[in-house]
C-alpha cells in the first residue's frame, strides 16, 4: 500500500510526466527531500521510470480512480423561500450558471462520467439533464416524508469510489479529481451558529466525532467522498438501520456520526471561498448581488406588481412556519413587513381559490380581516400585511371568546352567497375517494361515515339555511393585539351551515360539553334551546369528522398532523353520538 504522499506524487506525474522533483514538491506540498526519497522508493518498486509512471504505477494508481458521482437533488429546501417554491434549489442560476449544471461540468472536467442525480421535489424539472449531460436520473418519491437517507438507499449499489454531492453546493473552483487517496468530508470555518456538522479529528485528520451544529469553528460542508471500503461499511450500516423510522428521517451524516469507529473518514480544510451553501435568500444575494435582478421567479414578479416596487428593494426575511396546506414567507419593502402566501402543491383539488378570494375581499370590506392586500383569484397566491405584536387568543377570557363569536355572527348575518358549497359529507367523500384512488384501504371509514351521513340528514331538517362560512375558524386563525381582533386565512371558505364555524373554533382545543355550550350561547346571544343545542352538537361531530378524515389524508401524503388526528376522531365520535341520541329521542326523521 502506498502512502498518501506517494499517491500524490504518482497522481501528479500521471498528469505531468517527466516533471522535476522541485516541481513535484511545489505542486504536492511535500519537501524536496521527501520527494526525493519517495521517488527513489517508487522507482525501486517499479512504479516509476525517469519520473514517468510505468504500467505498474498506472495499475496501482487505478485502485484510487473515482468510479462515479451521486448528486442529491430530491429535497424541497424550504428555508430558501420563496425561490424554492418555483423551482428546486439546485436549478437556481448563480453567477450565470445553473448550480447543478456547474457541478456536472466540474465532475466531467475531472474525468468523472458516471453521474447519477437523485430527484424528488419538482422532479420533472431535472429530467432534461439526462439528454443534455448523459446523467442517470433516479426518482425518490418519499422526498417529502423522509430525509436524504431515503435518496441514498435508492443508489446504494452505486456506492464504490464515489463522490456524494448536494445539488445546492456552489464550488467556486473545481474540487473534484479523477483519483482520490482516501474517504473525506471537507470543512471550512463557520462564524456564528451553523447547521453544518461540527467535528473533532485526530492528528492524522481522521474524524473521530461529530456534532449536529458548529459555532465559530470548522464545520463540515461540501462534497463527501467514499472509497470502496468505506462505501461498503456505510451501506452495511445503512441497510441494517434503515427500517428504523428515525433513521429514515435523518441525514446521511447521522449514519456516519454513529459509526466513525468503523467508517474511516478524513477531513480537508477548505478556504472561505472554495465552496458555498446558501440556506437563505439573503445569503444567496450577498454572494451574487445581481441575483434578484436576474431571477425569473414569478413570486418576486407578483410582489413587484402589487407593491409597485423594484426587485432590489425587496428583502426576504425568511419562511414562516410551514402550514399544512400552504407555505409562506415574510419580506420587507419600503420599511414595511409583508407576508406572501404560496399555495401548497395539490391544494387545488380541494380548495376553491375563487371562493377564498371572494371571502377575503368581503371580510376586508366588513373589517373582519384587515390584513389582505391582494389575492389571486385563480392560483391563490396572496400578499398580506404583517401585523407586529400579535398573540394567541386567551381561551379563558370570556370577552375574547365573545369577540371571536361576534366576528362569525357578523359574517353570517351578511348572508353572502357564492356558488361553492362546503358540504362536510361531500368534502369527506372527496378525501376518501382521493385516498382510495391512491391505493389506500378506506374500509375503516365505512361504518363511521354511515352514522355521519345520518346525522347530517338530521341537521338539514332543522332549516338553518346556508350562508358564506369561514370553515377553518380554529382559534389560531384569529390575530389579536392591543388594537386588532381579526379572523384570517379564508381558504376553506364556502357556503355552509353557520353552526359549522362555531364547531370549527374548537378544532384546536378540546373544549368539554359545558365550554362548548357556553361558546354557542356567546354566538347566539342567549341560552340554547334544545333544538339549537342538538344542532350545534351535531355540527361539532360532523366537522371534527371532516378534520379527522382530512388529517388521515394529510398523513397518507406524508404530512404529519400529530395529536390532532386522535383528538378530532374522539370528538367526532363523542358529539355525533350525543347529537344522534338527542335527535332520535325527539323523533327526528
- Helix, strand counts (H, E) of the chain: 22, 24
- Ranges of H-type helices in 496-529: 498-504, 513-524
The CA distances from residue 257 to 163, 220, 413, in Å, are: 18, 12, 61
Distance of CA 146 to the CA centre of its chain: 10
C-alpha cell at 188: 471550512
Q: Write down the pLDDT at residue 589.
A: 46
The DSSP letter of residue 476 is G
| 23 membership: H or E segment, kind and range | helix 21-28
Q: Say which residues have a Cβ less than 8 Å from residue 356's Cβ, sequence separation at least 6.
A: 375, 380, 490, 491, 492, 493
Q: pTM for the complete prediction?
A: 0.72
Q: Write down the pLDDT at residue 587.
A: 60
At CB < 8 A and 24+ separation, what contacts does 280-289 make? 280/79, 280/80, 280/316, 280/318, 281/80, 281/81, 281/82, 281/83, 281/316, 281/318, 282/315, 282/316, 284/80, 284/83, 284/92, 284/94, 287/94, 287/95, 287/170, 288/94, 288/95
What angle is formed at CA 258 by the lines to CA 256 and CA 263, rounded to 5 degrees?
A: 50
Q: Write down the pLDDT at residue 293.
A: 63
Q: Write down the pLDDT at residue 585.
A: 87
User: Which regions in the chain score pLDDT beneath 50?
Assistant: 589
The answer to whether residues 39 and 19 touch, using CB atoms and an 8 Å cutoff, is no
Q: Write down the pLDDT at residue 350.
A: 72
Nearest to 228 by CA among 279, 183, 178: 183
Whole-angstrom Cα distance, residue 327 to residue 85? 8
Amino acid at each position: 500500500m502506498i502512502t498518501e504522499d506517494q499517491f500524490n506524487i504518482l497522481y501528479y506525474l500521471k498528469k505531468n510526466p517527466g516533471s522535476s522533483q522541485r516541481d513535484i514538491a511545489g505542486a504536492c506540498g511535500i519537501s524536496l527531500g521527501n520527494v526525493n526519497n519517495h521517488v527513489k522508493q517508487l522507482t525501486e518498486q517499479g512504479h516509476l521510470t525517469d519520473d514517468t509512471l510505468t504500467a505498474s504505477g498506472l495499475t496501482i494508481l487505478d485502485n484510487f480512480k473515482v468510479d462515479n458521482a451521486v448528486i442529491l437533488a430530491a429535497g424541497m429546501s424550504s428555508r430558501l423561500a420563496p425561490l424554492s417554491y418555483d423551482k428546486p434549489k439546485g436549478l437556481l442560476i448563480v453567477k450565470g450558471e445553473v448550480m447543478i449544471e456547474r457541478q456536472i461540468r466540474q465532475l466531467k472536467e475531472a474525468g468523472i462520467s458516471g453521474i447519477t442525480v437523485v430527484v424528488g421535489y419538482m422532479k420533472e424539472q431535472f429530467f432534461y439533464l439526462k439528454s443534455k449531460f448523459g446523467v442517470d436520473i433516479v426518482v425518490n418519491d418519499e422526498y417529502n416524508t423522509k430525509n436524504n437517507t431515503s435518496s441514498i438507499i435508492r443508489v446504494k449499489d452505486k456506492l464504490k469510489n464515489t463522490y456524494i454531492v448536494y445539488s445546492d453546493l456552489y464550488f467556486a473552483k473545481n474540487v473534484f479529481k479523477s483519483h482520490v487517496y482516501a474517504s473525506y468530508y471537507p470543512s471550512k470555518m463557520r462564524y456564528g451558529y451553523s447547521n453544518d456538522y461540527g467535528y473533532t479529528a485526530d492528528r492524522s485528520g481522521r474524524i473521530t466525532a461529530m456534532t449536529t451544529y458548529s459555532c465559530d469553528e470548522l464545520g463540515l460542508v461540501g462534497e463527501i467522498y467514499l472509497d470502496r471500503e468505506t462505501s461498503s461499511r456505510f451501506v452495511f450500516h445503512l441497510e441494517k438501520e434503515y427500517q428504523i423510522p428515525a433513521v429514515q428521517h435523518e441525514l446521511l451524516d447521522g449514519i456516519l456520526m454513529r459509526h466513525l469507529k468503523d467508517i474511516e473518514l478524513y477531513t480537508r480544510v477548505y478556504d472561505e471561498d472554495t465552496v458555498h451553501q446558501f440556506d437563505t435568500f439573503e445569503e444567496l444575494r450577498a454572494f451574487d448581488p445581481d441575483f434578484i435582478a436576474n431571477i425569473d421567479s414569478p413570486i418576486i414578479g407578483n410582489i413587484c406588481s402589487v407593491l409597485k416596487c423594484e426587485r432590489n428593494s425587496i428583502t426576504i426575511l425568511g419562511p414562516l412556519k410551514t402550514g399544512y396546506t400552504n407555505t409562506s414567507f415574510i419580506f420587507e419593502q419600503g420599511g414595511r413587513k409583508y407576508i406572501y402566501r404560496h399555495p401548497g402543491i395539490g391544494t387545488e383539488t380541494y380548495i376553491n381559490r375563487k371562493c377564498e378570494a371572494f371571502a377575503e375581499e368581503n371580510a376586508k370590506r366588513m373589517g373582519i380581516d384587515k390584513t389582505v392586500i391582494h389575492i389571486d383569484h385563480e392560483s391563490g397566491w396572496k400578499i398580506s400585511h404583517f401585523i407586529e405584536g400579535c398573540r394567541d387568543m386567551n381561551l379563558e377570557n370570556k370577552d375574547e371568546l365573545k369577540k371571536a363569536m361576534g366576528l362569525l355572527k357578523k359574517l353570517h348575518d351578511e348572508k353572502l352567497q357564492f356558488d361553492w358549497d362546503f358540504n362536510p359529507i361531500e368534502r369527506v367523500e372527496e378525501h376518501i375517494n382521493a385516498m382510495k384512488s391512491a391505493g389506500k384501504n378506506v374500509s375503516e371509514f365505512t361504518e363511521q361515515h354511515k352514522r355521519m351521513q345520518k346525522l347530517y340528514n338530521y341537521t338539514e331538517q332543522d332549516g338553518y339555511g346556508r350562508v358564506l362560512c369561514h370553515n377553518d375558524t380554529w382559534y389560531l386563525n384569529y390575530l389579536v393585539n392591543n388594537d386588532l381582533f381579526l379572523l384570517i386565512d379564508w381558504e376553506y371558505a364556502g357556503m355552509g351551515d353557520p353552526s359549522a364555524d362555531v364547531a370549527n373554533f374548537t378544532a384546536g382545543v378540546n373544549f368539554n360539553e359545558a365550554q362548548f355550550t357556553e361558546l354557542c350561547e356567546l354566538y347566539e346571544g342567549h341560552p340554547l334551546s334544545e333544538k339549537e343545542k342538538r344542532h350545534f352538537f351535531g355540527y361539532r361531530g360532523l366537522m371534527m369528522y371532516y378534520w379527522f378524515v382530512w388529517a388521515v389524508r394529510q398523513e397518507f401524503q406524508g404530512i404529519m398532523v400529530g395529536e390532532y388526528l386522535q383528538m378530532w376522531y374522539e370528538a367526532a365520535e363523542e358529539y355525533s353520538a350525543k347529537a344522534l341520541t338527542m335527535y332520535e329521542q325527539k323523533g327526528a326523521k
